[in-house]
Structure 1
Amino acid sequence: MRIVVTNCNTTRSMTEEIVRGARDAASTGTTVTGLTPAWGVESAEGWLDSHLSAAAVLDALRAYDASGEPYDAVVMAGFGEHGREGARELLDVPVVDITEAAAHLACLLGRRYGVVTTLDRARGQIEDSLHAAGVARNCAAVVGTGLGVLDLGDEERTVRAFLAAGARARDAGAEVLVLGCAGMTGLQRAVGEKLGMPVVDGVGAAVRLAESLVGLGLTTSRVGGYAKPLPKGRTWGTGCGRPPSE
């Protein structure tokens, strides 16, 4: 099975970190390829960034699909970012968004979950994404750590900030926590035991759900909202995302 994991920003080091987390979660026999948009934003932190990111990711996916490289599913590794609905229209394979995947798995582990994310400004996008996915009712809180996406490389500082934010989410009624940024992939191992709660990594959750959909022979419905795009003139950019170096 071949899964393409698409970063939502142009920071290749983050793509590589996400791919490592995806490969750790993948089953034996699943190959994971990372895709970095050729243009867009170095980190998605706000509405403008998110919409730019969505266009860039769709452009990268369109170009990758047209390249003829075989693949079975796509994981969109942007927490709360736009674009998943467009990708589902565009592609003929299952498209799994890490926000939606993490929330669905969290709902299987507790009655209410909390999302711990980066900056508070991301909360609105995440809440909207959860509402669109139909899982917002079970969300007790979306809590920011005060760290920017590009600050997450400092593991000690990130763990400290996550533990503080996770405690606030727990106090708000969360029984399960979700990592609210693809750049947090792998952090669940460092914080889950300290908080005494299950912590769901969206990248790993999305990879496993993508494998399940492919294994069951299921893909996006073409009845209604996700029907193939209407034939018409569309002007695209020329950029194609590239896999990170092995």
Structure 2
Amino acid sequence: MRILVTNCNTTVAMTEESCARARAAAGPGTEIVGLTPRWGPESAEGWVDSFLSAAAVLDLLRDLDEPFDAVVMAGFGEHGREGARELLGVPVVDITEAAAHLACLLGRRYGVVTTLERSCGQIEDSLLTAGVAQHCAAVVATGLGVLELADEPRVLAAVTAAGARARQAGAEVLVLGCAGMTRLMQTAAAELGMPVVDGVAAAVKLAESLVGLGLTTSRVGSYATPLSKRRSWSPPPDEPAAGPRAGEGRRPR
């Protein structure tokens, strides 16, 4: 079985970290392959980053030249999963949805610990779309940006403090709301005295289960194959790319 893990940003180190966690969770005989988008944000934090990330990931997935049995989308709360399910003929498992579903099997209510406050509403919307928002007690921010997650002692302290607030809000299970937090699962669980679910591991195990059961995305209704039509994924070669605007970096060409 081959499972593709797609990062939602262009930071290769985060792709590698997600793949390491995926391989640790995968069963014997499962091969994990990681891919990093060719363009997009270096970290996904907010609506602009998320929509840009979704387009970049879909661009990556449409050009796959290797066969995979399933795809894991390693971006917590990021957009794109519905489009990927339309695009691909194999199961697509989003780490947000996977973590929430497993958390619902472990306790009556769960909480999510994420990075910045600006990501909370986006995660809440993702959980609502997935049909699991009613079991979420709280989405709590640590105040740390995605690119700050390499400082493990600092991150653990922030995750533990945010997890305690989620527990006070009624959470019985904690979900790590960023793929960059995966290495903290066991330590955070010991500190908080409650089950902690890592989305990457959860998504890999669910993907393996779907493949093993011979199940894939329904083509009835919502995730029907995209209509055949002309789609432009980049400006024509003779059209100059627009320059950067305030608050933006230079756009890829």
Task: Answer whether TM exceeds 0.5 for this pair.
Answer: yes
The correspondence of residues 63-142 of structure 1 with structure 2, limited to 5 A, is 63-64=63-64, 67=65, 69-142=66-139
Determine the C-alpha separation between the residues in 1 that align with 2:30 and 2:207.
11
Alignment root-mean-square deviation, CA = 0.8
Determine the C-alpha separation between the residues in 2 that align with 1:23 and 1:30.
8
Listed one character per residue, the Cα deviations across residues 76-132 of structure 1 (whole Å, up to 9, x for unaligned) are: 000000000000000000000000000000000000000000001000110000000
3-state SS of the aligned residue for 1:225? coil
3-state SS of the aligned residue for 2:183? coil
The answer to whether the aligner puts 1:27 opposite 2:15 as a matched pair is: no
Determine the C-alpha separation between the residues in 2 that align with 1:132 and 1:187.
27
- Bigger Rg, structure 1 or 2: 2
What is the identity, as a one-letter code, of the residue corresponding to 1:26? A
Determine the C-alpha separation between the residues in 2 that align with 1:185 and 1:53.
20
Kept in 2: contact 1:113–1:175 (CA 8 A): yes
Q: How many residues align?
A: 235
Match for residue 177 of structure 1 among 174, 177, 187: 174
| Equivalent position of 1:236 in the other structure | 233
The answer to whether the aligner puts 1:215 opposite 2:212 as a matched pair is: yes
What is the identity, as a one-letter code, of the residue corresponding to 2:37? P
Determine the C-alpha separation between the residues in 2 that align with 1:159 and 1:167.
12
Determine the C-alpha separation between the residues in 2 that align with 1:105 and 1:137.
14
What is the identity, as a one-letter code, of the residue corresponding to 2:166? A
Using the size of structure 1 for normalisation, the TM-score is 0.95
Kept in 2: contact 1:8–1:44 (CA 8 A): yes
Listed one character per residue, the Cα deviations across residues 188-226 of structure 1 (whole Å, up to 9, x for unaligned) are: 111101100000000000000000000000000000010
| Equivalent position of 2:240 in the other structure | none
Listed one character per residue, the Cα deviations across residues 111-163 of structure 1 (whole Å, up to 9, x for unaligned) are: 00000000010001100000000000000000000000000000000000000
What is the identity, as a one-letter code, of the residue corresponding to 1:40? G
Determine the C-alpha separation between the residues in 2 that align with 1:144 and 1:237.
35
Kept in 2: contact 1:23–1:32 (CA 8 A): yes
Unaligned residue ranges in structure 2 (runs of 5+): 236-253
Match for residue 168 of structure 1 among 165, 168, 180: 165
State the identity as a percent.
Answer: 76
Listed one character per residue, the Cα deviations across residues 40-75 of structure 1 (whole Å, up to 9, x for unaligned) are: 0000000000000000000001111xx1x1210000
3-state SS of the aligned residue for 1:186? helix
Deviation at 1:237, TM superposition (A): 4.3
Determine the C-alpha separation between the residues in 1 that align with 2:30 and 2:196.
23
The runs of at least 4 aligned residues of structure 1 exceeding 6 Å deviation read none
Determine the C-alpha separation between the residues in 2 that align with 1:91 and 1:135.
24
Determine the C-alpha separation between the residues in 1 that align with 2:51 and 2:21.
25
The answer to whether the aligner puts 1:14 opposite 2:14 as a matched pair is: yes
Deviation at 1:235, TM superposition (A): 1.3
The answer to whether the aligner puts 1:158 opposite 2:149 as a matched pair is: no
Determine the C-alpha separation between the residues in 1 that align with 2:148 and 2:234.
30
Kept in 2: contact 1:59–1:237 (CA 8 A): no
3-state SS of the aligned residue for 1:140? strand
| Equivalent position of 1:241 in the other structure | none
3-state SS of the aligned residue for 2:129? helix
Unaligned residue ranges in structure 1 (runs of 5+): 239-246
